[in-house]
């Protein structure tokens, strides 16, 4: 998640002639970030280990964490979140199957999507820029998703990110819901095998089946 790295790490891991994931080639900002509320996406990724990928738009890229158990709507339920490389904005639309043998081989669905409101503030209750708060290891935000709604926090609880390839412990974060109750608090199963896409209504299995259908098709723009 190094700031200067941009999407280089992301691109370095993938072969875009083999995977249908977006390359984010059109620069860090592949859309005008100033004209919209920052977005978030939660994907389910049936890779060698099933996990959720939690991504928040920050400064033109998707800051990303791998969340093994997925987000919880129960404030007592802290979820491990392991930082992964920045992803291009276009990744928030990605649903499909990454070929076996490629990085992250397996099927991906968009489990939830929406916008978020950064709510980080300092001790005097002055707002702190989100990227700055992230750097310091603690951000708060309100999710406005189709499934997840309410206040959440991401907090780094040990280790530090190294800027220059140093050998520190891998930083680990906790994702926790901090406030909000009742209706709209969150819905939709986090059982990854039963969960349905917020974009297409499909399960992982259906997306995998579509990917192995004889005619290759892009999932772009598909709606149900």
Chain positions contacting Mn ion, by CB under 5 A = 45, 53
Nearest residue (CB) to Mn ion, 87 versus 147: 87
CB 120 within 8 A of CB 138: yes
- State the nearest-atom distance from the C-beta of 196 to Mn ion, in Å: 18
Question: Which residue in this structure is represented by tokens 């994931």?
Answer: 21
Nearest residue (CB) to Mn ion, 106 versus 150: 106
Question: Looking at residue 145, what DSSP letter applies?
Answer: E
Rounded Cα distance, 94 and 219, in Å? 8
Rounded Cα distance, 142 and 133, in Å? 15
Tell me which residue has its CB nearest to Mn ion: 45
Nearest residue (CB) to Mn ion, 53 versus 95: 53
Question: Looking at residue 165, what DSSP letter applies?
Answer: S
Neighbours of 18 (CB within 10 A): 13
CB 14 within 8 A of CB 22: no
- State the nearest-atom distance from the C-beta of 64 to Mn ion, in Å: 8
Backbone angles phi, psi at 135, to 5 degrees: -60, -35
In this structure, the strands spanning 50-58 and 39-46 are: antiparallel
Nearest residue (CB) to Mn ion, 10 versus 152: 10
- State the nearest-atom distance from the C-beta of 181 to Mn ion, in Å: 30
Nearest residue (CB) to Mn ion, 45 versus 202: 45
| Spatial CB neighbours of 44, under 8 Å, sequence gap ≥ 6 | 50, 51, 52, 53, 70, 108, 109, 111, 192, 195, 204
- State the nearest-atom distance from the C-beta of 154 to Mn ion, in Å: 17
Q: DSSP for 80-114, please give it.
A: EEEEEEEEEGGGGG--EEEPTTSTT-EEEEEEEEE
Nearest residue (CB) to Mn ion, 133 versus 207: 207
- State the nearest-atom distance from the C-beta of 148 to Mn ion, in Å: 18
- State the nearest-atom distance from the C-beta of 47 to Mn ion, in Å: 6
């Amino acid at each position: 998640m190094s700031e200067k790295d941009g999407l280089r790490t992301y691109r370095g891991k993938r072969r875009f002639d083999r995977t249908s994931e977006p390359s984010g080639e059109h620069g860090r900002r592949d859309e005008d970030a100033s004209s919209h509320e920052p977005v978030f996406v939660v994907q389910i990724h049936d890779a060698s280990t099933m996990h959720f990928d939690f991504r928040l738009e920050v400064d033109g890229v998707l800051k990303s964490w791998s969340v093994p158990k997925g987000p919880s709507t129960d404030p007592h339920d802290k979820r491990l979140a392991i930082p992964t490389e920045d992803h291009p904005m276009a990744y928030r639309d990605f649903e499909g199957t990454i070929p076996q043998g490629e990085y992250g081989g397996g099927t991906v669905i968009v489990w939830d999507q929406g916008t978020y409101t950064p709510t980080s503030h300092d001790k005097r209750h002055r707002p702190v820029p989100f990227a700055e708060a992230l750097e310091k290891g603690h951000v708060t935000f309100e999710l406005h998703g189709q499934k997840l709604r309410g206040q959440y926090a991401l907090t780094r609880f040990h280790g530090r990110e190294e800027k220059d390839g140093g050998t520190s412990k891998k930083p680990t974060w906790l994702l926790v819901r901090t406030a909000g109750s009742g209706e709209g608090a969150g819905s939709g199963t986090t059982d990854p095998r039963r969960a349905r896409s917020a974009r297409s209504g499909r399960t992982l299995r259906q997306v995998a089946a579509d990917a192995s259908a004889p005619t290759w098709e892009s999932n772009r723009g598909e709606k149900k």
